[in-house]
């Protein structure tokens, strides 16, 4: 039961981050809204989908590892958007903190899965 609660919390954190991110992406320059903005949205969609898949699968490890990769991709996209001045530093800080929290929650989930498999 505890696993299901943690999985739901992770899903909520991802959707909260997506809601924040969509507002931030809307402020990107017009040329980048549909280029980098689309790439960022695609990675966040992937994170959402992988979280749902992992919660439904019996063997979760590879799906969770894929989610870890997606989190790393998003981290780099957001950093790059800030460096290119598409994203104000304050929004970068908030978004990065959300992504870091998601990463920590995933780390706990991965640790639980690894303990069960040993």
CATH number of the domain residue 60 falls in: 1.20.1440.60
Residue 104 has pLDDT above 80, yes or no: yes
Does the pLDDT at position 1 exceed 50?
A: no
Number of folded domains that form the chain: 1
Whole-number pLDDT of residue 5:
75
* Confidence tier at 118 by pLDDT (50, 70, 90): low
Q: What is the pLDDT of residues 13-68, one digit of tens each?
A: 999 999 999 999 999 999 898 899 999 999 999 999 999 999 998 889 999 999 99
| Domain boundaries, position 22 | 2-117
Average model confidence (pLDDT) across the chain: 93
Q: Which residues contact 88 (CB under 8 A, 6 or more apart)?
A: 27, 82
Indicate if the pLDDT at residue 2 is higher than 60.
Answer: no
């Amino acid at each position: 039961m505890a696993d299901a609660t943690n999985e739901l919390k992770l899903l909520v954190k991802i959707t909260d981050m997506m809601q924040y991110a969509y507002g931030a992406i809307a402020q990107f320059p017009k040329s980048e809204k549909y280029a980098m903005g689309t790439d960022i949205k695609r990675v966040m969609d992937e994170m959402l989908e992988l979280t749902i898949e992992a919660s439904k699968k019996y063997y979760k490890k590879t799906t969770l590892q894929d989610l870890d990769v997606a989190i790393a991709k998003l981290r780099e996209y957001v950093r790059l958007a800030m460096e290119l001045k598409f994203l104000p530093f304050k929004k970068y800080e908030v978004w990065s903190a959300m992504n870091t929290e998601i990463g920590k929650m995933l780390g706990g989930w991965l640790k639980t899965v690894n303990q069960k498999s040993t």
